[in-house]
Each structure stands twice: as C-alpha cells, then as structure tokens.
Structure 1
C-alpha cells in the first residue's frame, strides 16, 4: 500500500473515531466486550438508580450515586447524563448539573425529550442568560408522566416565563447592587445545610436552622438532605459570632424544628414544626432558657401549609405565609393578622402576592419596610428577594434587591438588622462550608470606596469572580428610620436585674402601642421605635415607682441606637422621680395634651396608694432671668397639682414647689443638657 493510501485510511479511521466519541454509547455487550464484569456491575448500578429515580415521588438523592457509578464506567451515554443532570437539578448543588447536560446534548440531544429544557435550566442556574434563552427556545412543552413515576409537566407558558426570567437576570446583572457578601464562617455554618437566619434588632443574637449531625431526635432525613432540622443560637462577640449551639428541648424535638421569626428584643421566637403539614408556634425566652413552643391558633395555622412569619415591631401584628386556598391569589401568599383580636387574617393583595409563590416574609424594625421572596414580579429565577414599603395606605411596587444578592436559584428568608446596614440570608454559593450556608450582606455607602478586586473575599457570585479592578462609585446607604432603645432594668438600691413591664405609648393620643418585658434573668430590654411619633416609655414593677422616658422622633429621623439603663426606685419617703412625659410650651405653664397619659399614671399611683403624699416640683435651665424662671417653674408645678385635684386627688396630699434654675442635674452647656434641666419631678413626702 502506498504512502498516500495509508494516509487516506488513517484519516478515515480518525474521522470515524471522532464521530464515535461524539455519539451516545449504549450499555451493550458489543460496546464493552472486553470488560463484561465491569458492564454487569454498571448495569446493576443503573438498575438501582432507575428504581430510585422511577419512584413516585422520585428519590433523586438516592438515585444519584448509582448513576454516577455507572457513568464512571461509561461516561458517553446521553440518557444517563441527562438523568444525572436531572438529579443534580433536584439537589442543593444544582449548578453541578451543567457539564452532564452539556455532554448529553453533545452526544445526542434527542436521547431524552427534556434534554434542551434541562440544559436550559442548568445554564439558567449558572447565570448564562443568553445560552439559556437559546436552549429554552429549542425546548418543547412536555406532558406529565413522561417517565417512570414522574408527574412533571412543562407548558409553553412555563418556557416563556423562564425566558423572561433570563431577560430579567440580564437587566439586573447589568446594574449590580453594591454589597459585600461574606460567609458567616464556621461559627454558624457546618458541612450540612444551614439556613433561615433570624436576628434581634440590635444584631446581638442570631438563631438559625441546621441539618447538621447531633440533632435532638437524631433522625436522618429520608430524602437524603442531612438530619432533621434543629434550631441553633449564637451571640455577637464584637468581631464575630459565638459558635452556634443547639437549643435542645423543649424547642427542638424529634420532628423538624425551624426558625421562622424573632421579636426585635429577642424575647419571643416563631418556630416552624413539621406536624399537621407544617404549623407555626411561638416560644418565649424565660430568663436564659426558651420555653416550650405553643400553638398560635386556628386563625393562623390551617389545614394548609404555613411556612414563615414575622412580628411587626410593636408585636401587635403577625405577617405570615400560607398556601390556603380561601382568599389566596395563587401559590403561597402573605397575610396579616392582629394577634390580640378575633379578626380573620387579611391577604396583602395583588401589590405583593402573585399567581406564583411568595415566601420568607420579614417586617423590618421601622414598621413599614417589608422584605419577602417571590417567584413572581421580576424574578431572575426561583424565589428572589424583594422590598416593599407601606406608605399612604398602600404597598409600593416590590423592588428586586438585585444581583448578586439574588441569583437564578431560590433566595429566601432574608432579614436585616434595625440599622439596615446588614442583612442575613442563606445560599449555596461556591466556596461555602456546606450545601447551604448563612451569609452576611453589608450594604455599602459613600464612606467606603471599595475596589472589587479581591475575588472571593469581596463578592460571591455564581460566575467566575471579578478579576479586573473596578472602582465602586459612591452609593448612598438607605439609613433606617428607627431608633433602638435598649439597656438593663435594675433595682436602684441593690443593682440586681429586674423583670419589669415596659409600656410604649403614643403621646399624641395617649394610647398604649405595645407592651414588652425585660428579661427575668438579665434585666435586659430592647424597644424598636419607628420614626414619626412622640413616644412615652413607662417601666413599672410591683413595689416600685414607675419610671418614664420620652422620645420625640420626627418623621424621617435617621437610625440611632440609644443605651438607657433604668434603675427602678422603691416607694420610699424622699424618693424623687422625673416625669419625662409632662410637656409645656416654651415659657408657658399650660399642660399640653401629650401630657395626659403621664398625668393619668400619676393619678392612678395616688389612687392605688391612699397614704401616699407627693411634692410636685418644677425646674428650668438657666436661660433667661432667674426670677422669671422661678415663677415659671412654680406655675408649672401648680398646673400638675391642679390637674390631679380636679381628677379626685385630695389637695392635702399634694404640694407644689418651683425651684427654677437652682437644682440642675447637668451643666447648662448644651442643648441636650439644658433639656435635662427643664423637668417636672415628684418626691415622696409620706406613704
């Protein structure tokens, strides 16, 4: 044979071999005549995989290792690669499906009617928007029961919806949100799934749900997703979280127990328990131990599925998610209910709820900003996190939090600190410590001009990390319009912590907005005060004189955190109490209407303690003439006495004294200190 003949034959064989590699290889004796034992073992793995995959419902997690074992023997079977990709798409590692489905399409795109669709889903989940759209356009609707045990169906509307999600993703990715997204670290995260973070308003306490080993019931999830869910708690230690510890009984049981919501002060917790299809319960913190969760009642828990909830900052309302059919708009919807009333829950309506699912509701401490996840609106895929603000009697158009906070996969259970500076949620981003990890989001502001060049250290995403140097423009941080008041209630004499009742009052109408209690062991308390109200704060405990504080927060007042320790004084002769919610106009002695609630408390104290006698005293700062200040303070003290006598208190039990500027409690050197000196007090003269 000549050289050219031999060359021609080699080229033909090479081409034939190339075509063979690019074609699907069946599991037959003809294809593997030289390894019959390996073929028999691969066929056993295939059979076991088919049993799990063909179950109703399909057991993807159990099928996957069998399929992977068979694929090691024969990596070039298109149908097998499709099924491996499908299993990964139903796991917590969805993005791992892509190489298998790409290979299946290359080997034989007709081997499975769903190949183009499944490949499109894998491309979509990897944020390869353009390629995903192309594959979605090649896919065709598929009816249900297309494979053993499967009831999945794909409609033309589904395909168009996925294409629109990809277009949403392209738009959102072109305008990324400027954030740092940092893994919360091994203190919170494990090698298993960790998710559902909830934080106290001051970001001092976090609770999470975990499927890690060591669960209370010790049960493994039959679907292969780790152990049954348990709740863990950690505390902020200045620079990082303490190591999360299992709450144990009675919060955690042998069933699924998951975090749902946490009151701003961290004293009440909403818990999901996997009974009756899933119910919401409430646990209270008694000292340092959580009590047994209690049912929230049939208005909230129905025969349907209730999965997440959030308190309003004042604790009066509960926002929760339910898939109940009655009053629903499609999928799971968000409802609002007043806890102390008998009124039925109210669906938040079409401004929030869509024909698809809503999930993970969280009401921010400002009382008007709601975060939630939705499969509708302009989601880029799965559930995206949205924000809406309730103003002028309606909810604003939900705003997508954007890339890279949201991804093409499910992004759910987002919460924020009261400052709005940090957010927490779970994700299965590359480089994590487990299947799902807790991440901390830092919203960037103009005081930081970050250079996003540190790859994974700065910005996590499903794409390759950014390697070019990009100077982030100044971004204004949306400062929360809320004040956090916190501190410790103690006995003034012994300095020991006290459990006390804390009333939050709207001074404009005298109504009690909410009631809280300080912790029975530590005496700690926390109250969230949305801007736009003149608040009266009253702390009381049996055997002690009440203590009052005033916070007049105009609309638009920026975030602030105020630490105020409150020593309660016992009712003893000589004890002096400042009445911080008695108000007068400048230079006048007429009581303003906002004083009514405080005066009524003083009246009740005198009525409940018949032998009690008080000296009412007025005080001023040093601005103006001393004689005029003396006269003004006397008239103001007399105005309080006059109110009390007009409301049934005997005049013999009351005296009025004006001290003008002679008894300052702070130097008259600033506006704040002068405000402290302008005060009304009472002193116990007999009891």
Structure 2
C-alpha cells in the first residue's frame, strides 16, 4: 500500500540539476583535537553524513547534527558545504548563502555542484543578479552532454530571476502574520482552509500525536492528520485533532472547504496515486469520508480541490494524461442532472502550463480563481496566482500576487476570506515555528500620497521648518470584492431552539435554484455567499410544522463586499402565526404581480393543499405616500392579485381571504425611504387550521 502525502508531492520536487550528488568527505583529522568535545563533534558529523546521504527528506536530521559539529569547527569547507546545502532546504536560507559563499571563496573546486548550490542560494535569498552569474558559470563548466540535458532547467531558473527582479521592485503592500503557537507547531503545518466568514480554520499537520503515532518511511515524518482551530476575537483557539472519523493511521490531508465550512475535501494517499474524499458536517459531527466518483479520481494523482459557492462546480488538480498541458493541471467538474460529478474539463492553457499547478481555490464571488504554479511568471518554485473570469466564462491571464507573498521558494495552499482583505497560506519563513507554518495575509492596497498634518504646515509658516512627519491616509483594500455574505441563525420562534432548516437560494429573474444549504442542527447557523449581479430570494423552511421565512437580496453588479447578519425565527403552524412575503413584487402604484413573485408564492401551494381546512389571510400594506383611500384600495388589489394567483394554481378559494390595510399597520417609520420600503409588503397569516 502506498502512503503518499500531499506534502511529499508538492514540496519534495526540487530540481537538483547536478548529474549526481557529489560525495564530499569530511576528514576525521579535522575533528581530533579537543578530547571529548572533538569526539562529540565527530559523532555529529557521522550522524549528519548518514542522514545527508539518505536524501532531502532526511536533511532536517542532518542539519541538527551538522550544527553541533559546526560549533566545534566552523571553518571546515567540507562541513560548511554540506551544512550550506541542508540550510538551503530550511527556513533559514540566509545561513546557506553565508556558508556556501565562505566555501566558494576558500575552495571553489571543492565539488562540481558548488556553483549550482551557490546560485540556488543567491536565488532563494533574492540576490537575482549574482544568482544568474553563478548559474551561467555553472553551465559553462558542464560537458556538452550535461549542458543539453540541464540547459532547460537552468534557463528557467535564470528566467525566474528576471521575474523576481521585477516583482521585488514592485513590492506589494501587505502584512504577513504567523498565526502563532495555537495553530503552528514545530512540525510542518500547511494547507489552511478558511470558512468564508473566517470563523473556522482547518489545516494539515505532521505532529507527533498523529493518529496511530507512526512515521511515514517515504519522508521520515509523522503521518498527516487534519486539525481545526476557531477564531475567538482576534485570536485562534488551540488547534485540535479532528478525530478518528477523519484521521486514519495513514495520511489524511485537508485540501478543500466549502464557503460555509460544512463540506470538507480530503486527500488520501493510501490508494493509487492519491485520491479525493468528501465529508460533511452534521451538527458537530463530521461524516465518514466518501471517495469521489471515478470521473474525479483516477489511477493518477488527484490532490487539492475547491467547490464553488453554489456547490455545483468542483475545481481540482490532477496529473492525469490525455488533455494535460504538463505535470499537474487544474480541472473543473460540474454537477449533472442527477447531482453527480460530470466528466472534468481542463481549464486550458491560459491557466495550466507545462509545469505543475497546485492548491486551487475558487473565491465565493464565483469569478476569482487562486492557484499556485511553477509556470507563468513565477520567481521560483510555486508562486500564487489569481485569474478573474469574465462574463463569457473565460478565465483571464493569471496575475502573480507578488512579493513578499511570493518568494523564490514554494508558496502554495492559499485560501481567501470572503471580504478579500485577508487570506491564509502556508510558507517557509525565517522565525517560524516549523519548516512550514500557516500565515495570514492582510492586503492594504496601493499607498495613498503622503501628506503633512495641518499643524505642521501652520508651524512651518511662522517658524523654522521642522522635520516632516508623514501622515498616511487610511489604508484602502487591494481590490473590490463583488459579494454579499449572509450569516444567519435559525431558531424556533416559540422555544428559540436551533433548527436544522433548509436554505434555498433562487435567482428571481430566471426562477432557477442556485444553491441549497442547511442550517447547523446544533447551532442553527448558516453562511450563504451571494455574488453581486443578481436578484436573490433566500428562503428558510423546515417542512410541515413551520411556515417558511423569506428574504430578498437584489444586489447590483457593482455592489461592493458586504456582510449581513440575520436572526430568523421560524413560526410554527399555529393560528395567528404570520410571515412577510419578502419576494412578492409589484410595479410602483400597480397591483399586477411581477413574474419574480411566482417562486415565493409557489411555496405556499403545497402547504395549503396538504391542509385543506387551513385558512390564510393575505394582507396588503403600503407606505403613507398618497391618500388613505387610494392606499387602502391599492393594498387590497395587491392582496387579491396574490389570492388569484394561488387559486389559479389549484388552491381552494375558500382557504384564502384578501384584505387591504393601506398604511394602517406600519412596521417601520415612514419618514425614511428604508422605512417606507419595509412598509410596502404582503403578509400571510393563519386564521384557521385543522
């Protein structure tokens, strides 16, 4: 059985271009003086060599040993060469550069690949010009056969240096904050997944307390487990292992999360090349992961996944052959008429490159795609990119998120919060807790002009000039997010008990169901992302025992990001219970039903038909603009129009009573437009039940 990890596939693919790892021997005679200290140092050298020769996955162990030896003899070129290489694969890459420069200056012919590793160290430490010089020097030393074999990779490195020069020159205005010891550990922590409202963080870690407590022989680290942390104010709670339902004794990695935080996609490397599984949150229990169908999982390697806001499109990464552009590509699969994942489509050459793509994430705005790639204008390794979908559905040219988000190292597994201001990703940076940590990005946007304070200007006009103190205007967001995030809690109107209600979101213009959600059975909470540019009906229902509740969100295409909180109390079906039909519409001053009203009214039909003894009052209400007489007539005519529609759909006329109240029963102050809008409404009230 294979025990593949998502970490191994993504981070253990460094292109070592030397024809073979040159064995450089550290002589024992360099560690013979000093008695017990010398013996301890030599034992550390042997331990380091043993791990160094096993390959990259054992470099952390080699690093610990070589550091001990270095304290005894910091001037041994052979030790510094090896220590410089293992530092190159650690967060402390600056130490690699210091050591390899020292070796090259003292002994430039120590190993045939010293120039290559020095070039890599310059590259990873952002010294792009010296990196290019050393890459070229290394290439000039190659035999013609080696040159032809290694030229493409080395030329790509040099091109990455050119991209890096431009990206670093135009540094992005962001804050990068390590999420701290409550989330990160001394082991690799990565693949952060965030709910749209940033309430929940799920990620993957290689900790000692992994389920089963075993070490994976493939990379000499503990098996992957999935962890969860919750936001408490400005802090994150102590991360908890998500338990045996999700975590097995093998590798389990979280790779995708729905915007509402209730649908989790998991990478399991135990079968084939690695497959995707799905789990759903029910109350406070996650369901047993189920393997996705064969249209998604193949004999190849399927890794990260991201589901669209409506749950109807699944973006994922695979290295399947056929229509691939090379390496791992991003695909999308859509639900067919039976809600099964259809045959996936490659996103095409605008997104995918001859190199690897990984860590796909589709934003809840349904038009922005984030992913990591070794291609495009990466400055090295995986860089994070963004592509925006136009109105025709075509994905635009990917844009590098820039430095310091991206570096010449690997930046991958990126999740953007709904507000567009914060994102989360895993990276290897100096000063972290482990080899990879989870960080939060805060986007600040372009800097506004520096201004002098008014007080400084006044003083300068009457006295000697003083030192200017820059005053920066309030930061602005990087870009406009076209999205409204609805956060709600559903309870019983009488008992206040949380209800596991169904939430349906309908496009009123086309009368089509866009998405279906469920409120959490333990808390009654739900999160519903609504991309700008549609007129939405959001309906909450619980079945026969309750009246439904509706909300209208008519969101213009140019509407910026907003959050709306709703406490929804569902009315049990009792005499006197009433609801506002928020998605029944009329033209101003008219009583003809707009077609957008049909979806709302159709929900009443099964309630009345299954309860033939029930009688409902349909009441019309207006604002106070105009005379009392005209408003009373208009409200009555509108109520009659609703009744007529329901009767035309088979509801008994005796079950319905139309009443017009004009502006006699306002719900809000008529002095404001918002208040008048709330007062213009149609209500339904139960007068009689069986």
TM-score range, shorter chain: 0.7 to 0.9
Structure 1 match to 2:369: 370
In structure 2, C-alpha distance between the alignment counterparts of 1:31 and 1:633, rounded to whole Å: 98
What does the per-residue CA deviation read over 1:617-661, in whole Å, with 9 as the maximum and x for residues that have no partner?
111111122211111111111111111122222222222111111
* Structure-1 residue corresponding to 2:415: 415
Q: Give the equivalent residue in structure 2 for 1:521.
A: 522
Task: List runs of 5+ in structure 1 lacking aligned partners.
Answer: 1-23, 452-468
In 1: Cα distance, 2:586 partner to 2:137 partner: 75
Question: 5 Å matches for 1:20-419?
Answer: 51-55=50-54, 59-65=58-64, 67=66, 75-76=74-75, 78-91=77-90, 93-140=92-139, 155-222=150-217, 226-276=221-271, 277-339=273-335, 340-392=339-391, 393-419=393-419
Do the aligned residues in 1 keep the contact of 2:31 with 2:41 (CA within 8 Å)? no
Distance 1:215 1:102 in 2: 40
Q: Is the 8 A contact 1:479 1:559 kept in 2?
A: yes
My pick for the range that moved more, 211-220 or 561-570, is 211-220
Contact 1:613 1:686 (C-alpha < 8 Å) held by counterparts: yes
**Correspondence for 2:662:** 660
Contact between 2:581 and 2:681, CA under 8 Å: does it hold in 1? yes
| Cα offset, 1:90, TM superposition | 4.0
What does the per-residue CA deviation read over 1:414-447, in whole Å, with 9 as the maximum and x for residues that have no partner? 1111111111112221222222222111111589
In structure 2, how many angstroms separate the alpha carbons of the residues matched to 1:385 and 1:470?
Answer: 33
Deviation for aligned residue 1:104: 2.5
Residue 477 of structure 1, CA deviation: 3.1
Deviation at 1:69, TM superposition (A): 5.6
1:15: which partner in 2? none
> Could you tell me which residue of structure 2 aligns to residue 3 of structure 1?
none
For 2:615, the equivalent position in structure 1 comes to 613
Q: Secondary structure, in 3 states, of the residue corresponding to 2:608? A: helix
1:185 deviation in Å?
A: 1.7
Whole-Å Cα distance in 1 between the matches of residues 362 and 28 of structure 2? Answer: 63
The structural deviation recorded for 1:107 is: 2.6
Relative to structure 1, the CA distance from residue 548 to residue 41 in structure 2 (aligned partners, 3 Å threshold; closer, same or farther) is: closer
- How far 1:610 moved relative to its partner? 2.6
The structural deviation recorded for 1:84 is 3.2
Residue 509 in structure 1 maps to residue 510 in structure 2: yes
Residues 415 and 424, structure 1, Cα contact 8 Å, conserved in 2 = yes
Q: Which range moved further: 491-500 or 193-202?
A: 193-202
Partners of 1:72 and 1:191 lie apart in 2 by: 23
Measure, in 2, the Cα distance between the counterparts of 1:89 and 1:169.
Answer: 18
User: Is residue 25–residue 77 contact of structure 1 (8 Å, CA) maintained in 2?
Assistant: no
Q: SS at 2:682's partner residue?
A: strand
Q: Which residue of 2 aligns with 1:582?
A: 584
Match of 1:637 in 2: 639
Q: Which of 620, 626, 629 pairs up with 1:627?
A: 629
Distance of 1:214 and 1:55 partners within structure 2: 25
Is residue 25–residue 74 contact of structure 1 (8 Å, CA) maintained in 2? no
> C-alpha deviations, 1:334-389, integer Å up to 9, x for none?
11111424520111111111111111111111111111111111111111111111
Contact 1:142 1:155 in 2 (8 A): no
Aligned length, in residue pairs: 642
1:587-630 CA-partner distances (Å, limit 9, x unpaired)? 11111111121122122322233332222111111112221111
What TM-score, normalized by structure 2, do the two folds share? 0.87
Cα distance, 1:183 vs. partner?
1.6
In the TM superposition, residue 87 of structure 1 has moved relative to its aligned partner by 3.1
How well do the aligned residues superpose, as a CA RMSD in angstroms?
A: 3.0
**TM-score, with structure 1 as normaliser:** 0.87
The aligned residue for residue 561 of structure 1 is 563
1:662-681 equivalence runs, <5 A? 662-681=664-683
Contact 2:353/2:375 (8 A) holds in 1: yes
Deviation at 1:329, TM superposition (A): 0.8
8 Å contact kept, 1:165–1:381: yes
Work out the CA distance in 1 between the residues paired with 2:654 and 2:284.
Answer: 47
Task: Measure, in 2, the Cα distance between the counterparts of 1:302 and 1:134.
Answer: 44
Distance 1:670 1:447 in 2: 38
Query: Is this contact kept in 1: 2:58–2:220, CA < 8 A?
Result: no
